[in-house]
A and B are shown apart, each in its own frame.
Chain A
Amino acid sequence: DAKTTQPTSMDCAEGRAANLPCNHSTISGNEYVYWYRQIHSQGPQYIIHGLKNNETNEMASLIITEDRKSSTLILPHATLRDTAVYYCIALYFGNEKLTFGTGTRLTIIP
């Protein structure tokens, strides 16, 4: 699976959109981009995934660049409960091993 690179930490004001970037420049054509988050003292939680097209669900939006070398997770209206470590993972469909890295620590500021 391709290596991903994320900023170590970010702050975002409550109520604003939080945009979390991820670089995956060596991603192959059939590797998906998955996002998980881990709130303090909890296990990781699946957020969203995509291959080529932008995706949206009730939690977030995922924007993948046309060359697929980077992506952005968007939390449209961040709340204090969105404070967590966010992990971007490149994964072949059918590969069972999630490789988490160190993620981005997002802090939502009141």
Chain B
Amino acid sequence: DTGVSQDPRHKITKRGQNVTFRCDPISEHNRLYWYRQTLGQGPEFLTYFQNEAQLEKSRLLSDRFSAERPKGSFSTLEIQRTEQGDSAMYLCASSLATSGGIQYFGAGTRLSVL
């Protein structure tokens, strides 16, 4: 068990570019979550999947954001036409469906939009 893995750890991009982040959950976990964290704030929920189905999306997830989990294993989060306000840490977590509120987080991808 290597834990939740996120790639890349850091991403610097120019405003208007598209970026994609990857998350590899703990192998037997069927639930996968994305959160966003800005400086000085706690993480905010964006969306979650059970297997390949995206079950809930936050209103924070504008139409420039899309998340997928095509085979129920790894997930990608894409941001199109990035804006400076998208600069944040993007955290991925995974869990078993039976584990209640116990989620295991990766170290995150820090996005800086210039």
Which A residues have a C-beta under 8 Å from some C-beta of B? 32, 34, 41-46, 49, 85, 87, 89, 91, 93-103
Most A CB atoms within 10 A — which of B33, B48, B100?
A: B100
B11 to chain A, nearest CB (A): 15
23 A-B pairs whose Cβ atoms sit less than 8 Å apart in the complex: A34-B101, A41-B107, A43-B93, A43-B105, A43-B106, A44-B43, A44-B93, A44-B105, A45-B105, A87-B42, A89-B101, A91-B101, A93-B100, A96-B31, A96-B56, A97-B58, A98-B43, A99-B42, A99-B45, A100-B43, A102-B41, A102-B42, A103-B42
Q: B45's closest neighbor in chain A, by CB?
A: A97
How many contacts between A and B, using CB within 8 angstroms? 60
Contact B100 A98 (CB under 8 A): no
B85-114 interface code vs A (CB 8 A; 1 in, 0 out): 000000101000000111111111000000
Q: Give bound CA distance, A79 to B93, whole Å.
A: 26
By the criterion of a CB under 8 Å from any partner CB, how many residues of chain B are at the interface?
25
Q: Give bound CA distance, A48 to B44, whole Å.
A: 20
Q: A49's closest neighbor in chain B, by CB?
A: B101
B51 to chain A, nearest CB (A): 14
Contact A96 B48 (CB under 8 A): yes
Contact B102 A46 (CB under 8 A): yes
Contact B101 A100 (CB under 8 A): no
Contact B56 A97 (CB under 8 A): yes
Contact B45 A43 (CB under 8 A): no
- CB contacts (< 8 Å) of B42 on chain A: these are 85, 87, 99-103
- CB contacts (< 8 Å) of A45 on chain B: these are 105
B44 contacts which of A34, A87, A100 (Cβ < 8 Å)?
A: A100
- CB contacts (< 8 Å) of B41 on chain A: these are 102
